[in-house]
Amino acid sequence: MRVKTAALGMAMMVAFGLATANQATAATAADPTGAELSAVVATCAQQVSAGKYAERSGGTRTVPVCATGGAVHWRSGMTIDCDGQRTEKCNASTDPSWQGQTAWAQPDGKPLNAEKLPYIVVPGISSTWSYAGSGITGATVAAVVYQGKVAYAVVGDVGPTGAIGEGSYALAKALGINPDPRSGGVSGKVVDYIVFPGVKASPIHDAADAATEGRRAAAELVSRSRGCANAGVDGPYPRLDAGVTRPEVKAAQCLLRAAGQDTGAGDPSGVLDAATVSAVKRFQAQVGLAETGSVDSHTWTALLARGATPQLQDGSSGEAVFRLQRSLNAAISAKLTVDGKFGAKTTAAVKGYQTSRGLNADGIAGANTWRALQAGR
């Protein structure tokens, strides 16, 4: 990366996987196109960062971090990160800012290989945004789009706290961007970085696994976004029985699709028809609820809480907080404003939920609280 502090040199990096340049471009019929992915994240419906970032350190802050359909994304330029293993293209001679380490390492302890492994760089944790608070860590998979071309990668390094939009030598090369750490990269809001919290490559430097997982996650994102841009998932969450027609059914259908359940062909209809009832029953069975086919408060709670489960507490923000607030509203009618910011009211709601479910009422959304919410308790 271009700027780092000593703290950012700690072992915290995420590798972005790409099997080969050919694999990045040889999409199957089921793979989403770059245009489809960019269309999904074209607007910032939910900003999860408290502020905005510059494309480069010291620049004007105009880039927000956003959330759409469970993905976290931003649109920026790309500077080149050549840090990590010393290679022919990435070393102190080719890159004056080169460092022989990355925030996250391979299982053998070696840093990532920027020349060979496509990975992206996330900003250091600050009051602006915490990648960890959004369920992102090393090896979390991302799709990166430039001029319609898609490359799949992992989160592999941590950069400056004030800038966003950086990728490894290999990632730039795969996208057709000049990868030279001195003169390469691209400026302007022309690159989409789409990260999938909870989806990881294993191990971090397994490019093939990152590409496989990335394609699957990207296809799901495009599929569930169709007809779901304004589906009203912020509530209200009334009980929905078979045959009912109302706007909230469309929200339920979108959430079911995000959970991998087929609600029938076409865009969400807003009708709780036979296909949707079957989807509800399958989801209820999956999470251990009674298979009624009706979307009650328990089913809403489980649907809304799906996703990564980072520990959240007062001061947290991001995509996971949106899901937490929605699921609490469904579970206990918390009447929270869904703003992605964990403050006093969200703390009180978490405590109320924990008390009602026999959990330790500490106001922190940890593993036990998420487990209960995702089970629809």
What residues pair up with 144 in beta bridges, in sequence order?
151, 193
| pLDDT at position 1 | 47
Beta-strand relationship, 119-123 and 149-159: parallel
CATH class of the domain comprising 247-374: mainly alpha
**Distance between first and last Cα of the chain:** 44
| pLDDT at position 24 | 37
CA-to-CA distance for 78 and 278, rounded, in angstroms?
Answer: 45
CA-to-CA distance for 241 and 30, rounded, in angstroms?
Answer: 33
Q: CA dist 3 to 7, 61, 62, 248, Å?
A: 12, 16, 19, 47
CA-to-CA distance for 210 and 195, rounded, in angstroms?
Answer: 12
Ranges assigned E (strand) in the chain: 46-47, 66-68, 71-81, 119-123, 140-146, 149-159, 166-168, 186-200
The phi-psi region of residue 85 (left if phi > 0; otherwise alpha if psi is between -120 and 50; otherwise beta) is beta
CA-to-CA distance for 254 and 241, rounded, in angstroms?
Answer: 16
| pLDDT at position 16 | 30
Domain ranges of the chain: 7-225, 247-374
In which element (H, E) is residue 187 found?
strand 186-200
* Residue of 295, 303, 244 whose CA lies nearest to 273: 244
Blockwise average pLDDT, block size 10, the chain, 377 residues: 37 31 39 91 88 94 91 96 97 95 97 98 95 93 97 98 98 97 95 95 96 92 72 86 94 87 84 95 96 97 91 87 94 92 96 97 97 97
| pLDDT at position 229 | 60
